[in-house]
Amino acid sequence: MYSFGQRKTPASWLIFIILLLQVLSTLLFSYVCDFRMPGTASSMPPPPPPTRKPEASNLTLLLWSWPFRARFPIRRCSELLGIPDCHITANRMWYPKADAVIFHHYDVSRSPRYLPRLPRLPSQRWIWFNLEPPTYTRNLHFMDNMFNLTMSYRRDSDIFTPYGWLDVLPAPRTVTIPPKSKLVAWAVSNWNPASHRVKYYQELKKYIQVDIYGYQNLPLPRKKHLTVLSQYKFYLAFENSVHEDYISEKLWKTALLAETVPVVCGPPRKNYERFLPPDAFIHINDFPTAQELALFLQELDWNSERYERYFQWRSQLTPVEHTPWSLHLCQACRALQIMNPARYQTVPALSKWFR
């Protein structure tokens, strides 16, 4: 009869030693694992979602087509925004590898045929890019459930690309107002007599002199833009259509760069105040009638102290109105660099949102 306790055979010693070694090695191994990879122990909280190290990533952004078919030089984002560079290309050979593909709405909106039907990488993001207002944005209906990110002038876009903004100056400065010899100017190319803005102008001009520049009116060569318009005290920054956040270069470039006081017609005053201090502009809705607006402008014309108050914000802020296409691409690059690459996101109803 075999008894384990009484007679220790060499075989039982061997089993004992093997068991002992196994226990020791398990202890040792788990210690090493714990030590080297603290995140993998089951008692630990789950690891944080992977974040991209901007300096290590070199994201490829494919511009599917040149906006309005006009080529432009693609600039480095390190120069434009001081961020790590993305590899930005308009060469469709990169489609299978691109981290994101940017589609400029106008150029793909004629028919669904203009969007690729190729399989996409599971991690690839399609970006819907548009700076035109909804009135001039057609065929949104076939864009639903296609894109992962929106990129537009709307503040609630995934990638916000406004026509301009205000930067805070590093130190306050003394404001100098260019000499003013004229009163109200408006430069307009798209003259639609039925539009709200033209009707408003027809009413306004009964009470105040308004000089019209542009098509079939006073000539305004591109190079003289600033010198001509800066002689005016006021500029009519009237948008062609009224939509949330749609504040175009008419305000940023034409009015603010020429250092005139913008008289705006567009979304409500509260919407403008998301972008500008309240005393940086005059809103037509501040007055019940065009006549009362005209009276107010004349009052400011006489009262230089009150007029100058519309320039006070410039002592601390400066408008940024130069927003070339290349800058918008870099804004997308920046957004992608800080975005969680593992996050699934789709835009189900573009046509419901963008209007």
Ligand X SMILES: *[C@@H]1O[C@H](CO)[C@@H](O)[C@H](O)[C@H]1NC(C)=O
By CB under 6 A, name the binding residues for ligand X.
58, 85, 87, 123, 125, 145, 148, 344-346
Q: Encode 69-92: b = buried (16+ Cβ within 10 Å), e = exposed.
A: eeeeebbebeebeebbbbebebee
Given the complex with ligand X, which of 236 and 347 has the nearer CB atom? 347
3-state SS assignment for residue 25: helix
- In angstroms, the CA 106 to CA 128 distance is 10
Shortest Cβ 251–ligand X spacing (Å): 34
Q: Annotated catalytic, 132?
A: yes
86 or 187: whose CB is closer to ligand X?
86
Q: Which of 55, 79, 132, 292 is catalytic?
A: 132
Closest CB to ligand X among residues 148, 248: 148
Cα–Cα distance measured from residue 137 to residue 105, given in angstroms and rounded to the nearest whole number: 8
| 144 in Cβ contact with 348 (< 8 Å) | yes
Give the Cα separation of 218 and 186 in Å (integer).
Answer: 10
CB 58, min distance to ligand X, A: 4
Q: For residue 60, what is the enclosing H or E element?
A: strand 60-63
Query: From the CB of 116, what's the least distance to ligand X, in Å?
Result: 13
Residue 56 CB, shortest distance to ligand X, in Å, is: 10
Nearer to ligand X, 124 or 316 (CB): 124
Nearer to ligand X, 134 or 341 (CB): 341
Q: How far is the CB of 131 from ligand X (least distance, A)?
A: 22
Residue 346 CB, nearest distance to ligand X (Å)?
4
The first and second tokens of residue 206, run together, are: 């009964």
Token digits for 140? Answer: 């949104």
Dihedral over alpha carbons 24, 25, 31, 35 (to 10 degrees): 150
Alpha helices in the chain (DSSP H): 10-36, 77-80, 105-108, 196-204, 225-229, 249, 257, 269-272, 290-302, 304-308, 325-338, 350-353
Q: Starting from the edge strand earliest in sequence, which strands make up the sheet with 60-63, in order?
A: 87-89, 60-63, 100-104, 125-130, 149-152, 159-160
* Token output for 147: 């894109």
Distance, in Å, from the CA atom of 250 to the CA atom of 350, rounded to the nearest integer, reads: 26
Q: For ligand X, which is the closer residue by CB, 85 or 301?
A: 85
What whole-number distance in Å separates Cα of residue 130 and Cα of residue 240? Answer: 16
- Angle, vertex CA 90, rays to CA 222 and CA 342, nearest 5: 120
Least distance in Å: CB of 341 to ligand X? Answer: 8
Residue 68 or 344 having the CB closest to ligand X? 344
The residues annotated with a catalytic role in the active site are 132
